[in-house]
Chain A
Amino acid sequence: MKRFKATVVAVALVLAACGLAEEGTTTTTSAEVDTPTTAGATPPETTDTSTGDTASTEPEAEGPSGDPIVIGAALPLTGEFADTGVFVRDGYQAMVEYWNENQGLLGRPVELIIEDDASDPGQAVSLLEKLITVDGVDLVLGGYPGSSAAAQMAVAEQHGMVYVSMGGHMASFEQGFQYSFGAPPLMGQWWYRGFFDFLETLPEDARPTSAAMMTANNPVGAAVREGTLSDLEAAGIELVMDELYDLPLASAEPLVSQAMNSGADLFIANSFFPDGVLTIRAVHALGYQPKAILEGIGTLIPSWEEELGDEGDYVFSGTAMHPDLPFTEVELLREMSNELYGTTAPPIYFMFGATWADTLAQGVEGAGDIDQDAIVGWLKSNEVCSFGGCLTYDERGLPEPYSYLVQVQDGVPQLVGPGDVTVVDPIYPIPWGE
């Protein structure tokens, strides 16, 4: 089943690439500082016919040749986290197939092995170790979700393998791992920065004065809450409710009721999709009308838009990745997404997967080698521009904190901040009663 699907995707991408080839051949150009590029590719709109402008001294090759470079990863393809794990895998596969249509990595073809950890972190760890020690992969890519990624970070570190992933929130980057990169990370602690930056642009009397917060009782929720506590303090907003809840949530009404009764005009729900939906519905059912609603990570999955739609309107959230980001190479992902899913809005985790893969590839190309230490060295001393923007990594493997502001409008999570990436303006306060 997996091989069949992979073949279909490969064929589709080859056909797409043939279509793209009409517009220009690929050349290796040095990365311009402002425009993000992907390793070994040219943005389709800049060339029209084949150019002789190439920085490489090799004769133009038909494609990659030589011993394949093998990349391994363990992802949840079945079980609780399968819906997202599948998108990450698609992102990895799409990039590998893209490289193989072009110059490969270091001129060599790339092979991808994805193992299914069935949403079990223990399996995620042992499968990664198997990939490294038994299958002898040259490179590894990150797992999902954060718990599995955090556990895998330790394994990769022990084996001295570069590990590019979402990370396991701030704690995972404070373990002294040298080989890990969050490129970008899904950092709960940074999640609402975009929102609080936005609040600062508002006149003081328009800002909310008090906040009510409910948090899912697990590592993701805890990380988001940690960041929110300091954001609230810095913004001078009083926290009047700070409740935790275990998943699965049976009913959000008691918590939303409590928030409403506290009179808070900023409502923060550090939730996932199932509990997020219950919460939003409770807000509407109970008639709670805060000036703004902040929601956790539920907006990251396609179901938020496809299933909840405009019921979730006006909800703010954060993200490290978005299909409307104005970086040139995102166009490539839109095309891949169209082939794979029939939509030019790539799923966010597909974009994450592609970005992690691309970052690793740039490290490899930059270092000119698959030597893990060389890759680490290169990644930590160069700016890396990929689908999520241009990032510089510190000793811990983290870029500068950032988070885009997203707001659901007409059922679609839109990029509303910061200024340089805004697609539409944010709507604040929520126009209740209109």
Chain B
Amino acid sequence: MTGLVQALTTGVLVGLAYAVLGVGFSLTWGATGVINAAHTMVAVIGAYLGYHALAWWGIDPVLALVGIVPLFFLFGWGFFEALVRPLKQKVRVVGLASVVLTLGIALVLESFTTLVFSANPRLVRTEYTSMSFVLGPARVSGGALVAGVISLVVIGLLYWFRQSTYLGRALRALEQEPEGAALTGIDVRRASGIAMGMAFATAGAAGVALSLIYTFSPTTFVSWLVFTFLVVILGGVGTVVGVTVAGLIAGLVVTVSSLVIPFAWANLVLFGVLILVLLVRPTGLARR
């Protein structure tokens, strides 16, 4: 029994990490049609900034978010204006083209990150990352716990924003009905820019959160990108709840199934779940 509770706890924490990385990516896709392959590279840069805030100035990476989040928001908006808008003017359906574009950006960012910070892998160490906390019969590391809290806050804020603010609802309208939204007086350009800004901001926060659990280097963005794809296909595009649920499912499937089958096959169970869901609901778990 304790084994199961431990597996559930770990699964939730891992799942939240996947989810916080995926929500921004999903939102970008929904609001602008852009599949941002550079999303996780932005997250990695967020991780580097948090790491160096600690290393150079002794500022905890979580506190550094105060600076990172607004900064990345501006970057995201700028990214939209400088690159995404011109692309959307050239092609009507952005899909594949955006993957290529953002992949190019990701590679460039990776090279610069390597030049500036070197390729050596990094690890964030604060007072709480080596602590162990007891949650009932389960135990969790401090880093995972704080990361989980950050994830919940980010996801929660995002959800609240989309449900309760004018801009948030405008974005949801934009996702549902791109042409119709413009007709109802929504400034599509501004809304899209803000959506992308928020996506980058969440990426930065996700990077910091993940850095409390995982080591990272410039090339880490590739494996994080794969996690992200998984979670968004499973959860759906343009949905916070869908992606979060998908992340939790992904984390839980791996930890719980490894209780009964060899660990190496747990990933296959996850892939199997994904394929099953897609057979029934091709656009992902969330209702579209």
Chain B, range 5-56, C-beta contacts under 8 Å to A: 6-7, 10, 14
Are A253 and B255 CB-contacts (below 8 A) given A248-B223, A287-B139?
A: yes
Are A274 and B125 CB-contacts (below 8 A) given A243-B262, A253-B10?
A: no
Are A307 and B122 CB-contacts (below 8 A) given A257-B7, A285-B132, A285-B141?
A: yes
Decide if B254 is an interface residue (CB 8 Å cutoff).
yes
Contacting pair A254 B121 (CB below 8 A): no
Chain B, range 112-127, C-beta contacts under 8 Å to A: 114, 118-123, 125
Residues on A with beta carbons closer than 8 Å to the beta carbon of B143: 281
Residues on B with beta carbons closer than 8 Å to the beta carbon of A18: none
B-binding segment of A33-41, A74-82, A107-115: A74-82
Are A250 and B254 CB-contacts (below 8 A) given A79-B219, A284-B132, A286-B139?
A: yes
Shortest A253–chain B CB gap in Å is 4
Contacting pair B214 A78 (CB below 8 A): no
Chain A, range 77-110, C-beta contacts under 8 Å to B: 78-80, 82-83, 86
Interface flags for A224-250 (1: CB within 8 Å of B; 0: not) read 000000000000000000011110101
Contacting pair A303 B263 (CB below 8 A): no
Chain A, range 265-314, C-beta contacts under 8 Å to B: 273-274, 277-278, 281-282, 284-287, 301-303, 306-309, 311
Are A251 and B223 CB-contacts (below 8 A) given A83-B119, A273-B121?
A: no
Interface flags for A187-230 (1: CB within 8 Å of B; 0: not) read 00000000000000000000000000010010000000000000
Contacting pair A277 B114 (CB below 8 A): no
Contacting pair A254 B130 (CB below 8 A): no
Contacting pair B215 A261 (CB below 8 A): no
Residues on A with beta carbons closer than 8 Å to the beta carbon of B132: 284-287
- In the bound complex, CA of A302 to CA of B130 (Å): 20
Contacting pair A303 B122 (CB below 8 A): yes
Contacting pair B264 A301 (CB below 8 A): no
Contacting pair A307 B123 (CB below 8 A): yes
For B144, give the chain A residue with the smallest CB separation: A285
Are A308 and B123 CB-contacts (below 8 A) given A254-B255, A282-B141, A284-B132?
A: yes
Decide if A255 is an interface residue (CB 8 Å cutoff).
yes
For A285, give the chain B residue with the smallest CB separation: B141
Residues on A with beta carbons closer than 8 Å to the beta carbon of B125: 307-309, 311
Are A86 and B119 CB-contacts (below 8 A) given A282-B141, A307-B215, A311-B125?
A: yes
Residues on B with beta carbons closer than 8 Å to the beta carbon of A284: 130, 132, 141
Are A251 and B255 CB-contacts (below 8 A) given A261-B3, A277-B123?
A: yes
For A248, give the chain B residue with the smallest CB separation: B223
Residues on B with beta carbons closer than 8 Å to the beta carbon of A261: 3
Binding site secondary structure of chain A: helix
Contacting pair A301 B123 (CB below 8 A): no
Quick one: which of B10, B121, B258 contacts A307, CB cutoff 8 A?
B121
For B18, give the chain A residue with the smallest CB separation: A250
Shortest B31–chain A CB gap in Å is 28
For A274, give the chain B residue with the smallest CB separation: B215
For A278, give the chain B residue with the smallest CB separation: B214
Residues on A with beta carbons closer than 8 Å to the beta carbon of B277: none
Interface flags for B248-273 (1: CB within 8 Å of A; 0: not) read 00010011001100111011000000
From A244, A250, A302, residue with most partner B Cβ within 10 Å: A250
Shortest B129–chain A CB gap in Å is 8
Decide if B217 is an interface residue (CB 8 Å cutoff).
yes
Decide if B167 is an interface residue (CB 8 Å cutoff).
no
Quick one: which of A244, A281, A307 contacts B262, CB cutoff 8 A?
A244
Shortest A260–chain B CB gap in Å is 10
Residues on A with beta carbons closer than 8 Å to the beta carbon of B6: 253, 257, 286
Are A273 and B215 CB-contacts (below 8 A) given A261-B3, A285-B141?
A: yes
Residues on B with beta carbons closer than 8 Å to the beta carbon of A309: 125
Shortest B172–chain A CB gap in Å is 31
Chain B, range 66-124, C-beta contacts under 8 Å to A: 111, 114, 118-123
Decide if B278 is an interface residue (CB 8 Å cutoff).
no
Are A254 and B7 CB-contacts (below 8 A) given A82-B114, A83-B118, A307-B122?
A: yes
Quick one: which of A80, A86, A278, A302 contacts B219, CB cutoff 8 A?
A80
Contacting pair B119 A82 (CB below 8 A): yes
Chain A, range 310-363, C-beta contacts under 8 Å to B: 311
Are A255 and B139 CB-contacts (below 8 A) given A82-B114, A307-B215?
A: no
Quick one: which of B111, B118, B140, B263 contacts A244, CB cutoff 8 A?
B263
Shortest A269–chain B CB gap in Å is 13
Contacting pair B217 A245 (CB below 8 A): no
- In the bound complex, CA of A86 to CA of B120 (Å): 10
Are A83 and B217 CB-contacts (below 8 A) given A253-B10, A285-B140, A307-B123?
A: yes
- In the bound complex, CA of A287 to CA of B131 (Å): 11
Residues on B with beta carbons closer than 8 Å to the beta carbon of A245: 263-264
Enumerate 28 A-B pairs (CB-CB under 8 Å) in ascending A order.
A78-B111, A80-B219, A82-B114, A217-B264, A244-B262, A246-B267, A248-B223, A251-B251, A251-B255, A253-B6, A253-B10, A253-B255, A254-B255, A255-B263, A257-B6, A273-B215, A274-B121, A274-B215, A281-B141, A284-B130, A284-B141, A286-B139, A287-B132, A287-B139, A303-B123, A307-B123, A307-B215, A311-B130
- 4 A-B pairs with the lowest CB-CB distances in the bound complex, closest first: A285-B141, A307-B123, A83-B119, A82-B119
Query: Which B residues are within 8 Å of any A CB, using their own CB?
Result: 3, 6-7, 10, 14, 111, 114, 118-123, 125, 129-130, 132, 139-141, 143-144, 213-215, 217, 219, 223, 227, 251, 254-255, 258-259, 262-264, 266-267
